[in-house]
Structure 1
Amino acid sequence: MASMISDANGRRRIEFKGPDLRRRTVRLGKMSKKDADSICRQIELLLNSVTSSIPIPRETIAWLEDIGPELRQRLAATGLIPTQRLETLKGLLDEFVLNREDVKPATLEVWQQPARNLVEYFGADRSLRSISPGDAEKFARWLGTQKLAPSTVAKRIAFARTFFHTARKNRLIEENPFAEVKGPVADVRGRQSFVTREMMNQLLRHANPEWRIILTLARYGGLRCPSEVLSLRWEDIDWDRGRMVVQAPKTERYAGKATREIPLFPELNDYLQEARGRAEAGQIYVVGGNFRERANRPTGWKNCNIRTSFGKLIKRAGLEQWPRMFHNLRSSRETELLEDFPVHVVAAWMGHAVQVSLKHYAQITDDHFLRAVEKPDVKSDVK
């Protein structure tokens, strides 16, 4: 509870216990008791909002917009309201995007682009509270004119929605203006491409030893490339039990997701044995050379030169480059495994949720159609 106290010299102050139970003071200087009581009431409402994690009342929001910078600064110093910097688009973006220690550097780098889009459209000093649902819809339409793929537009709108949700959780705004803004539906199927075993054989015939193990780990092991492929160590392979422990940099920040165990699939064995025979004394990682050093940057894992080299290899093999080259190697393996194993087992081996498996990885192949129209063994009873 906040209390207004009048000093003998006519100065007023508001005292209260903050959420941390420490006593706080907001000094008001000389003013009428009526004005001081009014400020005390608003501080009481702010305190209730902070301690109960409820939205700031509309009347208090209006009051905050009218008060002078000196009083606002004193309120911010007590923790009742955020600093004025955080109430601007750029201020909170810097706090949300640049200072997240729990997020991978590569993810932070990806977030930079939608953050720049928001600043470009709304302006760095735009008040968060001034952005309405209508403004959010206009931003989404503008983003659609920026020569971006529909999936990219959808992801950047999703970022904006998450960002403003953070602002709402921190009581910087009352409602999320992006809550009902929908991005274009991504054509997941249109970006899928099944890499057949015949295609893999062509690639492997044209690949050097390092690339043979990279390709087989991605296509037949289902490992993410480059992060998981280049993180596989010889000590992670249990030859006797027929299993491998996959180091998973992408998911390591989640409890129990730093590694996963997968079978030592038969398709991998010959290529792993070949790589084992070529490994130098003391070599830690299965993939030799400087692949890991080139791909594992301070800002996270990058396909960079690995992706470029893969594209050249596809061309040398006489194949047409498919979209999402590494992803579709993994997707092709998952599609095969789903033919023989329960979806929850396959999803666990691949390191993602069942919903992700069905939406982003499971493919419909030509073989499915061929099998569907094959002459059945059982004769129909219909005459």
Structure 2
Amino acid sequence: MRGNNEMSSISTNKQTGGRKIQFSLDGRRRKSLRLGAVTLRQAQTVRGYVDDLVHSHKTSTAPKDKTLQWLGELSDDMYDRIAATGLIPQRVRATLGDFTRQHIDSRKVELKHSTVQVFERARNHLIAHFGEERPIHEITAGDADVFWLYMAEAGLAQATARKMIQRCKQFMNAAMRQGLVTENPFADLKSSATRNAKRMRFITQQTIEKVIQAVPDAEWRLIIALARYGGLRTPSETLLLRWCDVDWDKGVMKVRSPKTEAHEDGESRYIPIFKELYPYLREAFELAEPGSLHCITRYRDSNANLRTQFLRIIDRAGVKEWPKLFQNLRSSRASELAKQYPMHMLVEWMGHTVEVSLKHYMQATEDDFKAASYLGGEEAVQYPVQNLRPFGGSKGNEGEGDNDEIRSIPLESQKVQHIANKEVTGMAQVGLEPTLVRF
């Protein structure tokens, strides 16, 4: 129970109608907080917050959350009046431009170059919308909602917008730790990764072999093969692969992963040298300069753009470009492996969790639908599939010559379990692909 000496009082000037709250921080001298011509109810509301701040000051405890929220929403003028009484510290006024610049610069040593670039893009969007001189404590949850709409109007994909919100949350969390804001205005906005099913494609082995045949050198053939047949993240994991990581005798290789190195035992993983990958890996090894450290010696500059050159190769091969060039190669490999190996082996080889695998990588193709239907025949392998979106858009798959791609259907249910009607032992025959059925 708080003592009466902690309670404040309200007085009113009969001539002007102005009200003020009087309180004491030391039990003797009383201080005044002038409120101006406000209603008695408004004065009583402020008095409740003042009593909480007085109690916190005397007991060296934190104010209630609702008091902190009230302080954060105060105008600079009112906040300064309260701070002048010694009840709260002076407000540090940090602008959006200065704070975000300082935050990024202070973390450049610990962050990867690619992460810094994402922070820079988020900062650019914030400044373009709010302005460099906007005090960060004035940004409200309502402002954050409008910022989300701004990103949509700017043409950002939902996944990109969520990534920007994630960085905005990190900016504001840092500001909270420094006492510059009392709450994170972006806290309620979604920032978790999402996948756009419209951009998912299953790239057949026939298609990727056609692309590989249009490649002029062994290193590029290996880059593509590592993504499609090894399931490596490209460029990060591909460019880190070293010849010392390849164990020809055991048929395995070590994959170093910057994306998961912060997780327990996530800095690297071992995968089989799959039989589809082997010829391209061996070719590059035979042609490598003596003493070469990395399997891929070109494009080691962090600014190197693999996408641009890959698009040229795809065009040269006469194949239709597909979305998310390298990620869909990795996703296609994951979908193949899931049909032949238990899930625990798949996630270990791919370097992600079951949840991530089901949400971002698993795809059902037209061949899967045929195999599961009466068209597949008695000998077809059956794959139980749950929560599939209806298949559509077959005309988009029709092109000249070989099949360019198969529009896939995502498997998003976390209850999906792989069940095959035969056991697979040793190195599975993963090189065969059924003929694409046109719907």
C-alpha distance 279-193 of structure 1, shift in aligned 2 (>3 A): same
Which stretch of the first structure deviates more once superposed, 356-365 or 311-320?
356-365
Find the partner of 2:139 among 131, 144, 153.
131
Residue 111 of structure 1: aligned partner: 119
- Who wins on radius of gyration, i.e. which is larger? 2
TM-score by length of 2: 0.65
Find the partner of 1:167 among 175, 188, 205.
175
Matched pairs, number: 329
TM-fit CA distance, 1:370: 1.5
Residue 35 of structure 2: aligned partner: none
Which stretch of the first structure deviates more once superposed, 209-218 or 99-108?
99-108
Helix, strand or coil for the counterpart of 2:270?
Answer: strand
Task: Indicate if the aligned counterparts of 1:161 and 1:176 stay in contact, CA closer than 8 A.
Answer: yes
Residue 20 of structure 1: aligned partner: none
Helix, strand or coil for the counterpart of 2:276?
Answer: helix
Residue 89 of structure 1: aligned partner: 96
1:48 is aligned with what amino acid?
T
Task: Give the whole-Å Cα distance in 2 for the aligned partners of 1:183 and 1:251.
Answer: 19
1:273 is aligned with what amino acid?
R
Residue 48 of structure 1: aligned partner: 61
C-alpha distance 183-236 of structure 1, shift in aligned 2 (>3 A): closer
Deviations 1:253-289 (A, max 9, x none): 444222111112121222222222112111111224x
Task: Give the whole-Å Cα distance in 2 for the aligned partners of 1:282 and 1:321.
Answer: 36
Residue 241 of structure 2: aligned partner: 232
Instruction: Work out whether 1:291 is the aligned partner of 2:299.
Output: yes
2:324 is aligned with what amino acid?
R
Residue 281 of structure 1: aligned partner: 290
C-alpha distance 286-58 of structure 1, shift in aligned 2 (>3 A): closer
TM-fit CA distance, 1:341: 1.9
1:277 is aligned with what amino acid?
E
Task: Give the whole-Å Cα distance in 1 for the aligned partners of 2:75 and 2:309.
Answer: 60
Instruction: Work out whether 1:57 is the aligned partner of 2:68.
Output: yes
Helix, strand or coil for the counterpart of 1:240?
Answer: coil
Instruction: Work out whether 1:192 is the aligned partner of 2:200.
Output: yes
2:353 is aligned with what amino acid?
A
C-alpha distance 130-268 of structure 1, shift in aligned 2 (>3 A): same
Task: Indicate if the aligned counterparts of 1:220 and 1:267 stay in contact, CA closer than 8 A.
Answer: yes
Task: Give the whole-Å Cα distance in 2 for the aligned partners of 1:46 and 1:153.
Answer: 44
- Bigger proportion of residues as helix: 1
Instruction: Work out whether 1:122 is the aligned partner of 2:168.
Output: no
Helix, strand or coil for the counterpart of 1:281?
Answer: coil
Deviations 1:341-366 (A, max 9, x none): 23332122112222221111111212
Helix, strand or coil for the counterpart of 2:146?
Answer: helix
1:129 is aligned with what amino acid?
H
Helix, strand or coil for the counterpart of 1:245?
Answer: strand
TM-fit CA distance, 1:252: 2.6
1:235 is aligned with what amino acid?
C
Instruction: Work out whether 1:210 is the aligned partner of 2:206.
Output: no
Helix, strand or coil for the counterpart of 1:285?
Answer: coil
After TM superposition, the structure 1 = structure 2 runs for residues 330-341 of structure 1, keeping only pairs within 5 Å, are: 330-341=330-341
2:30 is aligned with what amino acid?
K
Residue 257 of structure 1: aligned partner: 266
Deviations 1:301-324 (A, max 9, x none): x551x2111111111111011111
Task: Give the whole-Å Cα distance in 2 for the aligned partners of 1:66 and 1:251.
Answer: 47
Residue 313 of structure 1: aligned partner: 313
TM-fit CA distance, 1:110: 1.4
Task: Indicate if the aligned counterparts of 1:89 and 1:119 stay in contact, CA closer than 8 A.
Answer: yes
Task: Indicate if the aligned counterparts of 1:151 and 1:185 stay in contact, CA closer than 8 A.
Answer: yes
C-alpha distance 54-206 of structure 1, shift in aligned 2 (>3 A): same
Task: Give the whole-Å Cα distance in 2 for the aligned partners of 1:146 and 1:63.
Answer: 31
Q: Where does the alignment leave 5 or more consecutive residues of structure 2 unmatched?
A: 1-27, 33-49, 380-439
C-alpha distance 81-313 of structure 1, shift in aligned 2 (>3 A): farther
Find the partner of 2:106 among 99, 105, 108.
99
TM-fit CA distance, 1:176: 2.6
RMSD of aligned residue pairs (Cα, Å): 3.5
C-alpha distance 68-169 of structure 1, shift in aligned 2 (>3 A): closer
Q: Where does the alignment leave 5 or more consecutive residues of structure 1 unmatched?
A: 1-31, 379-383
Deviations 1:123-165 (A, max 9, x none): 2232333222222211211221112223322322333334334
Task: Give the whole-Å Cα distance in 1 for the aligned partners of 2:64 and 2:249.
Answer: 55
C-alpha distance 42-124 of structure 1, shift in aligned 2 (>3 A): farther
Task: Give the whole-Å Cα distance in 2 for the aligned partners of 1:53 and 1:240.
Answer: 65
Task: Give the whole-Å Cα distance in 2 for the aligned partners of 1:142 and 1:233.
Answer: 44
Residue 325 of structure 2: aligned partner: 325
TM-score by length of 1: 0.74
C-alpha distance 226-242 of structure 1, shift in aligned 2 (>3 A): same
Task: Give the whole-Å Cα distance in 1 for the aligned partners of 2:59 and 2:339.
Answer: 58
Task: Give the whole-Å Cα distance in 2 for the aligned partners of 1:139 and 1:324.
Answer: 26
Residue 368 of structure 2: aligned partner: 368
Instruction: Work out whether 1:245 is the aligned partner of 2:246.
Output: no
Deviations 1:46-77 (A, max 9, x none): 9533xx997863566559864669x89x999x
Q: Percent identity?
A: 35
TM-fit CA distance, 1:223: 0.9
Task: Indicate if the aligned counterparts of 1:102 and 1:253 stay in contact, CA closer than 8 A.
Answer: no
Task: Indicate if the aligned counterparts of 1:55 and 1:174 stay in contact, CA closer than 8 A.
Answer: no
